[in-house]
Amino acid sequence: MAESFDAKEHQHVRFNPLKGEWVLVSPHRLKRPWSGQVEKAAEVSIPRHDPKNPLCPRATRANGKVNPDYSSTFLFENDFPALLQEGAPQPGPSGHPLFRAESAVGTCQVMCFHPWSDITLPLMEPSDIRAVIDKWADIITDLGAKYRWVQIFENKGAVMGCSNPHPHCQVWASNFMPNEPQIKDTHQRQYYAEHKVPLLVEYARMEAEKKERIVVENEHWLAVVPYWATWPYETMLLPRSRHILRLTDLTPEERDALADIMKRLLTKYDNLFETSFPYSMGWHGAPTGESLTEDNFHWQLHAMYYPPLLRSATVKKFMVGYEMLALPQRDLTAEQAAEKLHNLPDMHYKQRSDQS
Ligand code: H2U
């Protein structure tokens, strides 16, 4: 008799309905011998306050401005913005469809999470994480009044190209829809037209029911390794059941619950390889600006975490070769990654060693 399909054993491709893309899953490759690196990364000691670090309270930034003596979050205009609000000449018509350019107007900001450089989100108090969430929502209100897309993102760790260890994120707001949210807008719109329920509202309901890919959960939120994840330990944070368009729509209870689930998820991440886990994360919600008055019912707020690490604090996955030229591939299934993260301790490894 032919062997029956087992997702943990047999190669297959999985569909990402948010982006209309496929990922190749090859779990049989996990059986191959591994003789590469497994060592832990050396812990880098970061001073709590460095007067020469331009993100610290009271420090002088590249443009000569002095930061206030902030005690919670601190938002400032990026001194090296990729998008300027005004002053740049328009490209004008190109005269040929193969050489198209459009105007790009926007603004870039940097937001420090905390006055200390030697702290990260999972080690912060829930009330401090709540302050970060409130500030994110304020940013969406302020910049969203003017810009069609406000991208909040955190690049964490030198391996992700983060230039400064001080806990911070960035905000790039633009008058245009960037590629990723544009693709998700299209697919969520199509799904809603066909199924009469927002794609991610339905997805969260199914994940809460199946319980196969949940890393952490609480009354209001779910953190799952998405069925279609490409990065080994990629996760998606999404409202458990309520239909929520933007960060600005979160109730105080939902914000507290978000602080709780972020702390728990990021603690598990750090505990996986006992290192300050690098990642790029960001929020996607319904578009803003002119889109605030348009119908965005097909959208559901969510955050993505894309961590590059594969086997240890020093061995990362490279999206190269077949992945650049054909499609992403993973060995560990989303279910195996979720189980591994789920089973890790809830106490941060740095706090465990403090106690012993
Ligand atoms: P990243 O490490 O994620 O790149 O974030 C640091 C940001 O801080 C970076 O975008 C900005 C950089 O442009 N920055 C300032 O705006 N002023 C400074 O004096 C230093 C860094």
Task: Record the pTM.
Answer: 0.96
CB of 61 within 6 A of ligand 1: the answer is: yes
55 neighbors 47 (Cβ within 8 angstroms): no
CB of 267 within 6 A of ligand 1: the answer is: no
Percent pLDDT > 70 in the chain is: 97
Q: In the beta sheet, which residues pair with residue 22?
A: 15
Q: Does a structural domain hold residue 169?
A: no
Residue 205, sorted as left (phi over 0), alpha (psi -120 to 50) or beta, turns out to be alpha
Q: Does a structural domain hold residue 284?
A: yes
Nearest atom, ligand 1, residue 62 CA: 19
Which amino acid, one-letter code, is at 78? N
- pLDDT number for residue 44: 80
CA of 78 to the centre of ligand 1 (A): 6
Q: What is the pLDDT of residues 177-232, one digit of tens each?
A: 999 999 999 999 999 999 999 999 999 999 999 999 999 999 999 999 999 999 99
- pLDDT number for residue 328: 98
Q: Does a structural domain hold residue 7?
A: no
- Taken in order 213, 151, 179, 328, the sign of the CA dihedral is negative
Q: Does a structural domain hold residue 313?
A: yes
Nearest atom, ligand 1, residue 78 CA: 16
pLDDT band at 166 (very low <50, low <70, confident <90, very high): very high
Q: Does a structural domain hold residue 278?
A: yes
CA of 88 to the centre of ligand 1 (A): 21
Nearest atom, ligand 1, residue 169 CA: 3
Q: What is the pLDDT of residues 7-16, one digit of tens each?
A: 999 999 999 9
- pLDDT number for residue 309: 92
CATH number at residue 239: 3.30.428.10
Q: Label the pairing between strands 21-25 and 329-330.
A: parallel
> Of 114, 166, 168, 298, which one is the catalytic site residue?
168
Q: Does a structural domain hold residue 270?
A: yes
Nearest atom, ligand 1, residue 155 CA: 3
Rg (CA), the chain: 21
Told to judge if 284 belongs to the known catalytic residues of this protein, a careful annotator would answer: no
CB of 59 within 6 A of ligand 1: the answer is: no
Nearest atom, ligand 1, residue 61 CA: 19
CB of 62 within 6 A of ligand 1: the answer is: yes
- pLDDT number for residue 143: 98
Domain hosting residue 235, numbered range: 184-345
Q: Is the pLDDT of residue 329 over 80?
A: yes
Q: Which of 46, 163, 168 should be mutated for ligand 1, with most atoms under 8 A from CB?
A: 163
Q: Is the pLDDT of residue 355 over 80?
A: no
Q: Is the pLDDT of residue 354 over 80?
A: no
- Taken in order 236, 229, 306, 274, the sign of the CA dihedral is positive
* DSSP code, position 344: S
Q: Which of 155, 166, 170, 281 should be mutated for ligand 1, with most atoms under 8 A from CB?
A: 170
Q: Does a structural domain hold residue 36?
A: no
58 neighbors 51 (Cβ within 8 angstroms): yes
Number of domains in the chain: 1
CB of 325 within 6 A of ligand 1: the answer is: no
pLDDT band at 264 (very low <50, low <70, confident <90, very high): very high
Q: Does a structural domain hold residue 321?
A: yes
Q: Which of 46, 55, 171 should be mutated for ligand 1, with most atoms under 8 A from CB?
A: 55
